[in-house]
Amino acid sequence: MSSGGAHVTVLLDEAVDSLAIKQDGVYVDATFGRGGHSRRILSALGDGGRLVALDRDPQAIAAGAAVADRRFQLVHRAFGELAEAAAEAGVASVDGILLDVGVSSPQIDDGERGFSFRYDAPLDMRMDTTQGETAAEWLARAELREITEVIKNYGEERFAFQIAKKVVAARGEQPIVTTAQFAALVRETVRTREPGQDPATRSFQALRIHINQELRQLEVVLPQALELLKPGGRLVVISFHSLEDRIVKNFMRAQSTADSLPKGLPLRADQLPQPKLRLIGKAIKPGAAEVAANPRARSAVMRVAEKV
Contact 31, 2 (CB under 8 A): no
Contact 62, 40 (CB under 8 A): no
- How many helices (H) and strands (E) are present in the chain, helices listed first? 13, 7
Contact 151, 206 (CB under 8 A): yes
CA distance between the termini of the chain: 28
Q: Which residues pair with 236 in a beta bridge?
A: 98, 304
Residue ranges of the binding site: 35-37, 55, 79, 100, 107
Q: Which residues pair with 237 in a beta bridge?
A: 99, 303
Sequence-separated (6 or more) residues with CB below 8 Å from residue 43: none
Strands 26-29, 94-100: pairing is: parallel
Q: Where are the beta strands (DSSP E) in 115-264?
A: 229-239
Residue ranges of the binding site for S-adenosyl-L-methionine: 35-37, 55, 79, 100, 107
Query: Cα dist. 280→21, 80, 160, 192 in Å?
Result: 15, 23, 38, 41
